A and B are shown apart, each in its own frame.
Chain A
């Protein structure tokens, strides 16, 4: 097997995550799709670290995980705040600026 196959899986997962962010209306599911995109990028980092034979890619993937954890905490807090005021977790309902 070719080590570049991991990169193809990573590209596919990233694309699926991008579709999910655009198509799904539930804010939590859209947020989970963002997590999927971050994970796909991490897989590419780890694979390139192996192809190039140094650990820098793994360190960057580690930083990505930390930043993703922060992002999840703040993002979910925002979703809870929006839900508390609007009783809905749909991204279509938070359109106050449009009107």
Chain B
């Protein structure tokens, strides 16, 4: 019996260089995923880990899986994650304080125990043979070799997986679909709503947001002739998000006129 950790087989020197550069970077990026506050940064670090793993696959005589890893994971899956992050709110920073008291120390201790168990298990495991390598299995090429297995020994799993893909696509469509609760207002409905109200104050449309010499943006309400801010001039979405700036500093009496006499 040969010890896996000692005698599993030596690899070529270039691969060792690749591993010792990319391996620590992958682990650091994975740790960074836990520590960064914003979900987008986590997603980018995870994309880096996945690219590293793709390079590892290619280095380990699995070129097909390496390419599939890049196309499926960093291409499709991470893009999907970023899309959902944009939908759910990119600025919703995760609060890092623990809501269940004592959860974090317990989780870290349990994880260190689990990781130590895995590493010591790998260090003690015996396989009975050294590193065989894929030179023989890949004689006809990696992709034909995989195809031979996929369409003979694993053909049933392949068919089941195709059913799973269709089910997942249908499930996502059903989950993401939402029915309109009220009918979409037509142009006629909007026009009636504008003119057949109590006052005709907004009949010509809502006022534009404030445009000032020092600040030109949609987040400041315009000023009415009497100097009060026009509340209807800013978007309701900005108000709900709390992104509206008070127009008070831009009012005429509030402007700094101390250097008027020097001119």
Q: Which residues of B contact A3 (CB under 8 A)?
A: 8-9, 11, 60, 131
- Given the known interface contacts A13-B30, A69-B77, the answer about A19 and B108 at a Cβ–Cβ threshold of 8 Å is yes
How many Å lie between the Cα of A83 and that of B111 in the bound state? 30
A50 and B133 contacting across the interface, CB-CB below 8 Å = yes
B60 and A54 contacting across the interface, CB-CB below 8 Å = no
Min CB–CB distance A98 → chain B (angstroms): 12
Q: Which residues of A contact B33 (CB under 8 A)?
A: 16, 20, 29, 32-33, 36
How many Å lie between the Cα of A20 and that of B42 in the bound state? 11
A32 and B42 contacting across the interface, CB-CB below 8 Å = yes
Q: Which residues of B in the span 56-72 have a Cβ within 8 Å of any Cβ on A?
A: 56-57, 60-62, 64-65, 68-69, 72
Interface presence of B230 (CB below 8 A)? no
Q: Contact size class for B? A: 35 or more
Q: Which residues of B in the span 69-120 have a Cβ within 8 Å of any Cβ on A?
A: 69, 72-73, 76-77, 80-81, 84-85, 87-89, 92, 94-95, 98-99, 103-104, 107-108, 111-112, 114-115, 118-119
How many Å lie between the Cα of A22 and that of B107 in the bound state? 7
Closest to A17 in B: B30
The secondary-structure label for the interface of chain A is helix
Min CB–CB distance A87 → chain B (angstroms): 9
Q: Which residues of A contact B142 (CB under 8 A)?
A: 55, 58
Q: Which residues of B contact A65 (CB under 8 A)?
A: 65, 68-69, 72-73
**Residue total for A at the interface (Cβ-Cβ under 8 A):** 70
Q: Which residues of A contact B246 (CB under 8 A)?
A: none
How many Å lie between the Cα of A36 and that of B62 in the bound state? 19
B132 and A52 contacting across the interface, CB-CB below 8 Å = yes
- Given the known interface contacts A67-B164, A78-B175, the answer about A8 and B34 at a Cβ–Cβ threshold of 8 Å is no
- Interface residues of B, Cβ cutoff 8 Å to A: 4-6, 8-11, 15-16, 19-20, 23, 26-27, 30-31, 33-34, 39, 42-43, 46, 49-50, 53, 56-57, 60-62, 64-65, 68-69, 72-73, 76-77, 80-81, 84-85, 87-89, 92, 94-95, 98-99, 103-104, 107-108, 111-112, 114-115, 118-119, 122, 127, 129, 131-134, 136-138, 142, 145-146, 149-150, 153-154, 157, 161, 164-165, 167-169, 171-172, 175-176, 178
- Interface residues of A, Cβ cutoff 8 Å to B: 1-9, 11-20, 22-26, 28-29, 31-33, 35-36, 39, 42-43, 46-47, 49-56, 58-59, 61-63, 65-74, 76-81, 83-84, 89-90, 92
